[in-house]
Amino acid sequence: MKKTYSFSRGGFVFEDPYAPQSASTETAFLPVLSVISLIQHTGNKAYPIVFIGEYVKEGMLIGRGQGQGSANIHATVPGKVVRMVSWKTVDGTVNEALVIRMEGSFERLGKKEPAYPWIDLQLSELQHLIAEYGIVEMDEGERPVVDLFDDLATEKEAVTVVIRCVFDNAWFAADKAICNERLMAVVEGSLITAKACRATSIVYAVSYKEKQLIDNIRKTVQILHNLYPVNTPIAVVAVGNRYPQHNQRELELVLRDYEKKENALLGRLFMLCPSTASAIHDAVKFHKPILDRYVAIGGSAVKAPNVLKVRIGTRLRDVFEQCGGLIADPARIVIGSPFLGRTVLDLDEPVTKTSYAVLALLAKEIGGTVSRSCIGCGECRAVCPMGIDPESLYKQIISMPENPPSVDCHGCGCCEVVCPSRLPISTTIRAISKGAHT
C-alpha cells in the first residue's frame, strides 16, 4: 500500500465499547406512527403542503423547502396524516412534524425500481433532481447539497469531490455499513456529484486500516469506468485513523500534503460522506428521496448496540426497542457523535435524514453531575489538533465570561474526552466561540 497521510499534531485513537461492534446490519421494523420532521436541514422549516386527514403515498412530497438552507421533505410511509406536533430542542429551536399513521400499500418497498439514465443529463438537470428529492449532507453538516453546489458556482480553480470514508470514530459505523453494502451506489453517486459540480477529480479518503474497502473501491471504480464514458480521474488516499481525522480541517491538511507529494492538482475540496453520495445516486438514478438511512445505535444504556436501517420518522423509543431496549433510564440521549452530537429531551423525537448515530448514555459514561476541579495534567493540550491551550482558555472563560478570549477552536471535543476531571472544556469553549460570532 502507498503512503498513509495523517495530521501531525494532537488527536487520539478513539474506541468505544458501547458502540456497535459488528459489521452486519439489520432492517428496523416499520413504525405504525411516523413523525416526519419539517426541519431536517440547517435553514427554515419546510412548508407543509398536505393537511391533517389527508392520505399520502410513500415518497410523496409533503413539505416544500423555503429558500437557502431548506430542503424538501417526503413521506417515508404510506398512510394518513393524523396530526401535527411540535417540540423545543435544547438550544430553544422549535421543531414541527407531521405524524403519519401507516396504512395502504408501499410504492417502492420490496419492488424493483426503474433506473433512469443520467450520463447525458445537463448540470442543471442533475442539480434539479438532487434538490427536488431533498438531498442534504447526511452527517454533521446538514446543508442542502444544492446549496453546496451554489458555493462552487463562481469557483475558478479546479474542484475535487472528496468522499470521506474515514472511520476515526466508532459512531461512524453507519457510513462504514453503507460502504460495505452499497459501495456501487456510493461510487456512482460520486461520479454523478462530480458531473453536477464540474469537478475535475474525485478522491476517496479511506482509513488506512480498511484495506479491504480500499481494494473494493478500486474494483468498483474500474467496473463503473467500463460502464460509463467518463474520464474523471479517481484516487484512493489512505489516511490516518486518529480522531479527528474525519474533520474537514484535519482531512484537508492531509490531502494538501498528498497533493504536494504526489504532484496532484486538487483545487477546491468538496467533501461528502458515503451516505450523502449514495442518496445523490438514488435521487438521480431512481428519482427517490431519502426514505431510510443506516443509524448506529448504542451507548451504555442500550442492551444490544447495532447498526439499523431505519425509516426516517421512526421514533427513538422504537429504535431502542429493536436493540433490546434500555437497561436503565439514560442520563443523556444524543443524536450524532458523543463529541459533537445534539442532546435529545424526548424519546418521541424521530430519526431524521442526518441521524447517523443515536446514543443513550448512563451517568458513568458522561461523568455524572459531580463538579470537579482542573488538576493541571496537560492532557487537553497534548490532544488539541489546533495547538491551543484548552485548559487556559476554559479557566479564562469561566472566570471572565463577559470578556471571553479570542479562540481558534473547531470543537472536535478531544480535550473534553481525555479530561480526567470530566470538565466541559470543549462545550464551554464552543459556546463562547459561537456567541462571539453571532
Exposed, middle or buried: residue 170 (CB in 10 Å: 0-12, 13-18, 19+)? buried
Higher pLDDT, residue 81 or 2 = 81
pLDDT at residue number 406: 75
Binning pLDDT at 50, 70 and 90, where does residue 215 land? very high
Decide if pLDDT at 438 tops 60: no
pLDDT at residue number 434: 59
Mean pLDDT of the chain: 92
Question: Lowest-pLDDT range, 141-150, 172-181, 259-268, 401-410?
Answer: 401-410
Decide if pLDDT at 368 tops 50: no
Binning pLDDT at 50, 70 and 90, where does residue 173 land? very high
Task: State mean pLDDT over 399-420.
Answer: 84
Higher pLDDT, residue 317 or 153 = 317
Higher pLDDT, residue 364 or 351 = 351
Residue found by looking up cell 427513538 in the block: 316
Exposed, middle or buried: residue 228 (CB in 10 Å: 0-12, 13-18, 19+)? middle
Decide if pLDDT at 166 tops 70: yes
Domains, the chain, in order of start with CATH, read 1-29+109-369 (3.40.50.11540), 379-436 (no CATH)
Q: Which pLDDT tens digit goes with each residue over 221-241?
A: 999 999 998 889 999 999 999
Task: State mean pLDDT over 354-371.
Answer: 80
| Cβ neighbour number for residue 243 with a 10 Å cutoff | 27
Q: What secondary structure letter does DSSP report for 301?
A: T
Percent of the chain clearing pLDDT 90 (strictly above): 77
pLDDT at residue number 129: 98
CB 42 within 8 A of CB 146: no
Please name the helix (run of DSSP H) or strand (run of DSSP E) that holds residue 426, with its range, or none.
helix 425-436
Q: Which pLDDT tens digit goes with each residue over 73-115?
A: 999 999 999 999 999 888 888 999 999 999 999 988 888 889 9
Q: What secondary structure letter does DSSP report for 30?
A: P
pLDDT at residue number 371: 57
CB 37 within 8 A of CB 71: no
Among 1-10, 146-155, 288-297, 400-409, name the most confident range: 288-297
Decide if pLDDT at 214 tops 90: yes
Binning pLDDT at 50, 70 and 90, where does residue 267 land? very high
In this prediction the pTM is 0.94
Q: What secondary structure letter does DSSP report for 315?
A: B
Question: Lowest-pLDDT range, 66-70, 370-374, 390-394?
Answer: 370-374
